[in-house]
Structure 1
Amino acid sequence: MSATTPLPRPATNLLPTARQCAVVAIFTLSLSWLLHVLSGTPYLGVFGRIGFIGAALLMAYSIAGGVHPRWMGAGPARLAAVVLTAPVAALVTALATQRGRFLAYLGDTQTLVGHVLMVVLSIFFGVLFSLVAMRNERKARERADQLGIELEKNRLERELLDARLRMLHAQIEPHFLFNTLSNVEALVAAGSPNAGPVLRHLIAYLRAAMPRLNDADATLETELQLVRSYLELMQLRMPDRLRFTVSAPAGAGTLRFPAMALLTLVENAIRHGIDPNIDGGRIDVGGRLDDTAGKLVLWVHDTGKGMSETAQPGTGLSNLRTRLHAFYGDGTRVDLHEVEPHGLRVELHFYAGGKA
């Protein structure tokens, strides 16, 4: 459904709604009691006539809304039907109650005046209730249309957000893949005996990782598993220069999390922090969940070259900020802290109950 496609409306029902029936029933009961008190006529007799007229007007109103000439709108058709039905319904009640005395009934001035008064009251209240009902129906349609517009707007915004996330994800995938392959190339060029085992572990890792790269239902737990596998692979490449820990924040494993977000930070820590450092270093990945505020902090802490070597803006961090904001909304931020005597700590701050 496009943004300009009008929302379909349900077919008009020829029968009155339960609410309309209840309103008419309450009104006819009240009006019958009032006329009974004023005229002294038995209540059941008054209610029989008023109730029949009220039911006839309600049916005329409902049917005219769905069946009316093309040259006449539903509103005018309903009013015309009520005005025409009122005297007919009053006449039917007179015929039913008077039977053989109908001519004498019309010949008596007092009863004739009462009959005319009943017709006038029927038209007056019928038109009044019709106007109120049409006004309520118009407001209900406006609310339904407004709700439909909001739903369509939310759907389009979600589609735009998904497309944006797919575009950003597509930028990250080759970035990650080419960087890991360049590590293998360096080992092969140096003639390292570790090249074969590293390549085998890389193939196994990619077989496990590639299905997750476009996983819309990726969680923090699966992301941490991916990070741990990547660090194990990197440790094979430089066993004497890399140490690491990966710990999951308690209670946050099932949280939806953008795939490869943490992996991007870990890869940057290897490439810009640990690799250039002669003595290598340590990488710690962890997090902390504040249950009260619903805020989650994740970090990647390395003891590599530090801020001076890693402060240049790049595609990875830029895309990471955009993806986190799209996932979790306002209140999301990415902080970089220099660590003494050297190293870098990157923290992701966001609310676990955000947009995702």
Structure 2
Amino acid sequence: MAYSAAAPLRPSWMSQQSARLLAIIIVAPLASMATAVITQGPHVFSYLQSVEMLTGHILMVVLALVFGLVMAMLAMRGERKERERADQLQVALEKNRLERELLDARLRLLQAQIEPHFLFNTLANVEALVASGSPNAGLVLRQLIAYLRAAMPQLNDADATLGTELQRVRAYLELMHMRMPDRLQFTVPELPALADLRFPAMALLTLVENAVRHGIDPSMAGGRIEVGGQSVAGKVMLWVADTGVGIAETAQPGTGLSNLRVRLQAFYGSGTRLDLHEQAPHGVRVELHFTPMDTK
């Protein structure tokens, strides 16, 4: 009780540790005397007149002081370790918060680079369609406007999911199919089991755009784009496969693919992989391997 009461009752000029030790030094003899009074009652003075009893009482006071001070120092040592552990935890939490803020800023920077890249490439496709005098140019432009109106407000959504990303991919491929209906076929499944998975906006769309631009567009015969995904033992694999011209005739990866690697590793961790495989007889398959974060 003295140990606990010393800290809040101590004078401002005295340290907490000194106040606690002084309280035990003062209270130990008083507690021993109180024990003698309680046990002996009105015979306490005759009890202490005995040399043997007085010696025992003094010994009890010494033991109370020794054990009291030892236990107090052990308790203060434990409190000091707990404070140090709490301070270390606070520093770790602050470091983690700063790292998360830095990661968010980095993701926003990379995404800001990808968004114009996607928009300008799409507008270039529409420009080529208009320049060719296609009667579908007006319809395609209206579809592009509708797509951008639906997609652009969600591009900076920190809580974007794979389900919304698949919707964007489907809308983009429908737009590209209108531009080249005889040369592009595609499959984009719903993937209901992975729909609520947190997923960086435009990550999958970047792969689909590369498949159109570097795989289907250069091919006179066109081809097919297949988007898919699966989850096995807590690991997720997504893929975009095309039957276009293949890796040998494909241009070197540009800003979109380079930034995508960095974004995915920043979003899911260093274990994330982006693999490119050549398909037979021709085409490219790009696979994303990662461990998902918490679902929305």
Q: Are 1:346 and 2:276 counterparts?
A: no
What is the match of residue 130 of structure 1? 72
- Distance change >3 Å, CA 237–CA 337, structure 1 → 2: same
Correspondence for 2:250? 310
Amino acid at match of 2:159: D
Residue 193 of structure 2: SS of its match in structure 1? coil
| Residues 328, 350 of structure 1: 8 Å contact kept | yes
**Separation of aligned partners in 1, 2:35 and 2:192:** 77
Counterpart-to-counterpart distance in 2, 1:219 and 1:172:
18
Q: CA RMSD in A?
A: 2.2
> Which string of whole-angstrom CA distances, capped at 9 and with x for unpartnered residues, describes residues 21-47 of structure 1?
xxxxxxxxxxxxxxxxxxxxxxxxxxx
Amino acid of the residue matched to residue 67 of structure 2?
A: F
SS in 1 for 2:18: helix
Per-residue deviation, 1:218: 1.3
CA distance in 2, matches of 1:268, 1:196: 24
Find 1:176's aligned residue among 118, 125, 131: 118
1:347 and 1:95 mapped to 2: Cα distance?
Answer: 84
1:209 equivalent in structure 2: 151
Indicate whether 1:329 and 2:269 are aligned: yes
Structure 1: distance between partners of 2:129 and 2:81: 72
Does 2:33 match 1:114?
no
Which runs of no fewer than 5 residues in structure 2 stay unpaired?
none
Task: Pick the aligned partner of 1:294 from 231, 234, 239.
Answer: 234
After superposition, where does 1:221-260 map in structure 2 within 5 Å? 221-249=163-191, 251-260=193-202
Contact 2:274–2:287 under 8 Å retained in 1: yes
Paired AA for residue 330 in structure 1: S
Query: What secondary structure does 1:278 align onto?
Result: coil
Look up the equivalent residue of 2:149 and give its one-letter code: R
Percent of paired sites with the same residue: 68
1:261 corresponds, among 203, 216, 221, to 203
Report how many aligned residue pairs link the two structures: 296
Against the structure 1 CA distance between its residues 101 and 337, is the aligned structure 2 distance closer, same or farther, given a 3 Å change threshold?
A: closer
The AA in structure 1 aligned to 2:291 is Y
User: Is 1:67 the equivalent of 2:12?
Assistant: no
**SS of 2:274's equivalent?**
strand
Residue equivalent to 1:18: none
Please give the alpha-carbon distance, in whole angstroms, between the structure 1 residues aligned to 2:41 and 2:272. Answer: 82
After TM superposition, give the deviation of residue 312 of structure 1 in Å: 0.7
With normalisation by structure 2, the TM-score equals 0.92
What is the alpha-carbon distance in structure 2 between the residues aligned to residue 345 and residue 93 of structure 1?
86
Cα offsets for 1:275-308 (capped at 9, x unmatched): 2222222111112322xx3222211111222213
Q: 1:104 to 1:295 in 2, by over 3 A?
A: closer
- For residues 198-230 of structure 1, give each alpha carbon's deviation from its aligned partner in whole angstroms, at most 9, with x where no partner exists: 111111111111122111111111111110110
Larger radius of gyration: 1
Higher relative contact order (CA 8 A, sep 6+): 2
